[in-house]
Amino acid sequence: MEIPFLQSAFGWAGLCRSLLGSRGGLQRVWDSFARDTGLSTDFVFTSSCRAALVLAYRALCLDGEVIVSPLTCSAALQPILAAGLRPKFADVCLDSFNLDPEAAQRSIGPRTVAIEAIYLGGNASGAAALAELARKHGLKLVEDCTHGAGARDGGCPTGTFGDAACLSFPKIVDGAGGALCGRNATWLNDARNLQSSWNTTSRLRIGLRLLRTLLTASGINLSEENVPESLLRFARRRPESPNGSTTQVNIGKCARTRSVESAWAACQLGKWRRLASGRQTAALHLKRALARHTPNVRIQLSVGGAESTYTRFYVRVPARSDDMIGLMRKHGVEVIHLSHGDGACQLRLDHDPCFSPYLDPKELPNYFQLHDHLIALPLHAAMGPTEAEKIALALKLSLAAAAGEK
């Protein structure tokens, strides 16, 4: 692949430091990351964002419905079920692709206990409005900052609007694990204790993850013949089925962490500021190139004083996402849909037996307009105007081909 979706910031030096490092280094790096992002310095290191979300919901001792956007990867939704709660899907904004605060307000009912804010692609639009809504109705706000760590809305950083903030290091710096933070030390300690009862991440899993990250960093594209990925799936614990449902919830990434993971996270997290500012510059290059070549493509917008960290660069295209993934690939550019895996699109939730029982399609017209027409373009910290131009041209040609095929 000439332009892969991910260009890893991890290398051999990182591998050596991860293998030789100790658990202790992470707090020091986190302190400086917390200063940069506005997050609290008190945090729980978790095996993934999924683990952080499950811990957040369990430690908050909630029972009822969580209002959440359907326009996301299922990994952001599975923890709601895994914690014994029910998702209540509210519609998204056509501009920002995030949960629409007005639709969220309409969805509040007697069983609502929380709102999950997801900052798709790193876009913080709606964060302040959701925080206000949660405050007004006495609901908990759980922030999924997987893409959005360091983004702002109305000048305030994401992760400070709610009761809990959940992060995923692979998505922001190519590190291992994730984090749960919040201002309430007692509650955070409960989460820490809950996590200590989990099994530790298997060594095989960590080894395969290191191998996969290193291969990606060395330019070996694994998306077609993804051997480490298949092995990883094999190594995963059997998913849990909460509430006795027949559908499976994959919380295989919920585990107690090992010191190699925290050393890996420490080694990568120190790069956050450089990577985030590089991605913002790269996003500007892409926007200029797209404005020249593909005026019919809608770029995800930051609305109402919000900023984006551009962890992913989402666009809405007239063609179908699954066709575009194949056509862009023919032009040497790897694009993804809502989750990064084997090149497939995220199942629309009305086709997903896990989530369709919780969906009322009549309430979600914008979601149904957007879901099949979103793609995330490659974006990395070192991307210059030439690469951005190639991506825009590939997009233009792919759109023309998709229109011709109709």
Which of residues 50, 209, 212, 271 is near ligand PLP by CB under 6 A? 50
Which of residues 26, 34, 39, 49 is near ligand PLP by CB under 6 A? 49
From the CB of 168, what's the least distance to ligand PLP, in Å?
3
Which residues, including other chains, have CB under 8 Å from residue 367's CB and lie 6 or more apart? Answer: 69, 70, 71, 89, 91, 92, 349
Q: Are 363 and 103 in contact (CB under 8 A)?
A: yes
Structure tokens at 4: 């892969």
Which residues, including other chains, have CB under 8 Å from residue 219's CB and lie 6 or more apart? Answer: 4
Residue 48 interacting with ligand PLP (CB under 6 A): yes
Compare residues 29 and 82 and give the one whose CB is closer to ligand PLP.
Answer: 82
Instruction: Report d(CA 288, CA 394) in Å as an integer.
Output: 15
Residue 99 interacting with ligand PLP (CB under 6 A): no
Specify the stretch interacting with ligand PLP by CB under 6 A; choose among 57-65, 141-149, 221-229, 359-367.
141-149
Instruction: Report d(CA 106, CA 92) in Å as an integer.
Output: 12
Which of residues 27, 32, 247, 339 is near ligand PLP by CB under 6 A? 339
Residue 337 interacting with ligand PLP (CB under 6 A): no
Phi and psi angles of residue 316, each rounded to the nearest 5 degrees, phi first:
-105, 125
Compare residues 37 and 168 and give the one whose CB is closer to ligand PLP.
Answer: 168
Residue 213 interacting with ligand PLP (CB under 6 A): no
Residue 321 interacting with ligand PLP (CB under 6 A): no
DSSP 385: H
Q: Are 381 and 282 in contact (CB under 8 A)?
A: yes
Strands 112-118, 152-153: parallel, antiparallel or unpaired by DSSP?
unpaired
Specify the stretch interacting with ligand PLP by CB under 6 A; choose among 44-52, 92-100, 273-281, 369-377.
44-52
Residue 168 interacting with ligand PLP (CB under 6 A): yes
Instruction: Report d(CA 359, CA 356) in Å as an integer.
Output: 5
Residue 72 interacting with ligand PLP (CB under 6 A): yes
Compare residues 118 and 267 and give the one whose CB is closer to ligand PLP.
Answer: 118
Structure tokens at 145: 């900052």
Instruction: Give the alpha-carbon dihedral of 164, 177, 80, 346, to 10 degrees.
Output: 130
Binding-site string for ligand PLP from residue 235 to residue 274, where x marks contact by CB under 6 A and - marks none? ------------------x---------------------
Specify the stretch interacting with ligand PLP by CB under 6 A; choose among 70-78, 97-105, 216-224, 348-356.
70-78
Residue 144 interacting with ligand PLP (CB under 6 A): yes
Residue 76 interacting with ligand PLP (CB under 6 A): yes
From the CB of 235, what's the least distance to ligand PLP, in Å?
15
- Residues pairing with 45 in the sheet: 179
Phi and psi angles of residue 89, each rounded to the nearest 5 degrees, phi first:
-80, 130
- The string of DSSP codes covering 118-156 is E-GGGB-TTHHHHHHHHHHHT-EEEEE-TTTTT-EETTE
Compare residues 118 and 395 and give the one whose CB is closer to ligand PLP.
Answer: 118
Strands 374-377, 313-316: parallel, antiparallel or unpaired by DSSP?
antiparallel
Interacting residues with ligand PLP between 282 and 301 (CB under 6 A): none
Binding positions for ligand PLP, rule: CB under 6 A: 48-50, 72-73, 75-76, 118, 144, 146-147, 168, 178, 253, 339
